[in-house]
Each structure stands twice: as structure tokens, then as C-alpha cells.
Amino acid sequence: MTSEQLGALLPPWTGIPFVGILLSIALLPIVAPKHWEDHYPKVALFWAALFAIPFLVVFRGTAAHEILHIYLVDYVPFIILLWGLFTVSGGILLRGRLQGTPLMNTVFLAVGTALASWMGTTGAAMLMIRPLLRANAARKRKKHIFIFLIFLVANVGGALTPLGDPPLFLGFLHGVPFSWTFAILPHMLLVAACLLVLHYLIDSYHYRRETREVVSQEKEEVLRLEGGHNVLFLGGILGAVLLSGMWKAGSVSVVGIEMETVGLIRDLIIVAMGILSLRTTRKHVRRDNNFTWHPIIEVAYLFAGIFMTIVPVLAILRAGESGAMAFLMNAVTKPAHYFWAAGGLSSFLDNAPTYLTFFNLALGRLHMPEACVNDVLCAVVSDPSGGQFALYLKAISAGAVFFGANTYIGNAPNFMVKSIAESHRVKMPSFFGYMAWSGAILIPVFALVALVFFR
């Protein structure tokens, strides 16, 4: 039984454990913070088991295959990449401190946004967060800075290359040319410009409210870089990711799951880069960076539960018009529909398979085989549907990348930024509190993007 056939059989209520884990992440840190801090791995395990056990009983071999597939093909590489970037970036220390003024903070966010497409949203976010934390250490009103870091660096900035964000890398693997994603540069610039201006205005307002004592503590110090050799390891990780999309090395079977050989090589390179970073970076650099393993451990536990409970939701989506979400698939016919639908689902689901679902939906609607994607987007062949497919793909790409900023679970670095900021005693908003920020700021900006580019 294929994943699409399975999705056609699954009823909507099989998504209840997924909703349950999301609500747990949203509510338990508010209503029972001590219980959550001590037992969040057990909560994730509970919701995962609530789905997995009956799923295995009913569908047996098919269920086991789906579970092994999502963990071996998706979850393990996902965690290895996050661990590698987190480990290496944690060995880069910008000694000294800049003054956390609105202008300096906004410039830092702009630089991080520009870097994200080339070093990945996770790498850029992990690189930028610690200097921003030190620059604003004396300030009392600063959570908005890290909310905008999630908006810009951990999401929007990754829109220009397959290295930036997982859905674009997935598109690259399915025939989208590496440089084609520069087609959404105008979309990214519009969103980034709006958010940077808003950040400057909000930060200026809060900065003016700081006491003179706090502001006077924010003296600039001479900056110097320690652990700079980790930049080479960071380059090794990004090179490994790029290699996995360009080198076709066949596949191997691991417990019945077909896995790309180059993917395994990529993961080994990333692990090697992380280990080299740990072995060659002086201990005081990580200590002075306030480096701990807690953020990556928290992400690993919670996303282990999320990846399990997301299995039926993704299967239903892959079933398309045969599944329980046929009403959504039938309603998606225009570029704006692709933008909002791909984006809305990417706010809560893994944006990579969501991207691929709508990518395949667009191909099917235009009766265009995947083998033609590269030629059509490069305008090598004359195809009347080529222009329409490119417009659909712009909408899907922008939606999948931008909307990941809407929730803490929309993109992996979001949760890591929250966790690291909180470990530095920055009081970040709750799950729904963060959504209030994203709803008030991002949704109007996304509506402007839809109006300008996807009418």
C-alpha cells in the first residue's frame, strides 16, 4: 500500500494526536510550567504512542514502513543538520559588546537575513542570536528583538537558495534549478523591508522607555572573534548539504527503507564537522557563549513526537483529492490560493512535505511531468504551461518559507531561538502569545505580498 492509498483510507480524527501535541506545547508551559519542564519528553512520547500503537495494530507492515520512513528519511537528517549547525555556531564567539541601539539591532537583523539564504536559516539564526543577546544584555524590554529574529533570520531570509530552507532544497532535488529561487527576490525584499522598518520603530519605542541606568550600561567594547576556525566547519556542513543535491550516488536499503547514499554521506560529514568543532574549540569559548545542550535536546524530543503524529496528516495531504482534505485541494486553483494554502499548512506542519504536496498538485493541474520542470523553469523548451507553473511555484515557495514564521513549530530554528533566548533570561511569549505577534505583524505583510504578486 502506497502513502497516497493509506492517506485515502485515514479519517480526519487520526490527526487528533498531532493537535494534542501542539496544544501541549502551547498550553502546558503556561498552566503547569514546572511539570512541563520536568516531563515534556514524556508528554511527547504519550501523544506519539497514542497514534503509533493503534496505527501499527490496524495497518501493521504499512504502518511500520511509514513510521520508519519518516524517522530515517526525515527526522534523523533533520536533527543531524540542526545538531551540526548548533554545535559549530556555538563555537564562534564575538568577544566584546556592541551597544544594543535600535539601529544596531536592525542592522544585525538585516545582515542575518542576507546570510540565511547561504548558510541556512538555522545556521544564520544560531550565529546571530548570541551577539544580539550580549548587545542587549542590559535592556529590560527586548523580547521583540528575538521575535523579529525568528521572523527575518530564521524564516524569511532563507527564501533565495536551496541552502536557505528545507522546502527549497526539496524543490532542488525535484528539478528546480539552483538559481531559480532568486525569482522570489522581490517578494523577499518586500517582506524584509516591511519587517525591518517595523522592528526599528518598535525597538525605538521600547529603547526610549529604558531607564538611563540601563542605557548607560550599554557601552560599546572592542570586538574580536574567537573560534573563527569554526567558519570552515560551517562551510563543510553547507557544502555537504549542497553535495547531496548535486551528486547522484544511488541508494541503499536500511531495514527496508530506501535511502540515498549521498544523504548518508552528507549526514556523516555533518557529524564529523560537529565533532571536529567540539574537539578543536577551546572550552572557555563555549562557556563564555553560554553554550548548553538544552535547546537541541528540547527540539529533538518535541520534534520526535511531532514527526510521529504528523504521519497521518501528511498521508492525507498526499492523497490529494482522494483524501479527507479533498475540499482544500479542490479549492486551490489560483496563485494566491497556492500561496495561502501552502503557507497556512506550513505554519503548523513540516514545510518541506507541504511544499512537495502543492508542487505535485501544480504539476498535475497543468498535466506537466516532473522531468520537464528544469527545462520549463529555464525556458529551454516552449511550453504554454511553463509561465503558469513558474507563477504557481513562486507562490508555493514564498508561502512555505515565509509562513514558517507564524508559529514556534513552523520552522525548527524558531523553537531553538526561543529556547536559547529563555536560557539567557529573556521572557519570550507563550505559543499563543507569539501567534498574536505573528498574526498582527506578519499576516498583513503577507496579504500585501499576495496583493502585489499573486492577484
**By the 8 A CB rule, do 124 and 157 touch?**
yes
List of residues 6+ apart from 275 with CB closer than 8 A: none
pLDDT at position 3, please?
65
Give Cα 445 to chain centroid, integer Å. 19
pLDDT at 371: 67
Residue-level pLDDT at 195: 97
Q: Which residues lie closer than 8 Å to 59 by C-beta, 6 or more apart? A: 1, 6, 66
What is the pTM assigned to this prediction? 0.80
- What was the pLDDT predicted at 357? 78
Beta bridge partners of 94: 225
Direct distance between the N- and C-terminal alpha carbons of the chain, in angstroms, rounded to an integer? 40
Q: Is 320 left (phi over 0), alpha (psi -120 to 50) or beta?
A: left
- Which residue(s) pair with 251 in the sheet? 260
Mean pLDDT for back-to-back runs of 10 residues, the chain (455 residues): 77 91 86 88 95 93 91 86 86 76 94 89 86 87 95 94 82 80 93 97 90 56 80 89 79 86 92 95 87 86 90 81 79 91 86 79 75 65 61 93 91 86 89 93 96 91
Closest CA to 424 of 274, 256, 294: 294
Any residues with CB less than 8 A from the CB of 197 and at least 6 apart, and which? none
Asked if residues 304 and 49 have their Cβ atoms less than 8 Å apart, the reply is no
Q: Dihedrals φ, ψ of 248, to 5°? A: -95, 105
What DSSP letter does each residue of 165-194 carry, written as one string?
-HHHHHHHHTT--GGGGGGGHHHHHHHHHH
pLDDT at 379: 56
**How far apart, in whole angstroms, are the C-alpha atoms of residue 407 and residue 403?**
8
- CA distance linking residue 185 with residue 170, whole number of Å: 19
Beta strands in 248-341 (DSSP E): 251-254, 257-260
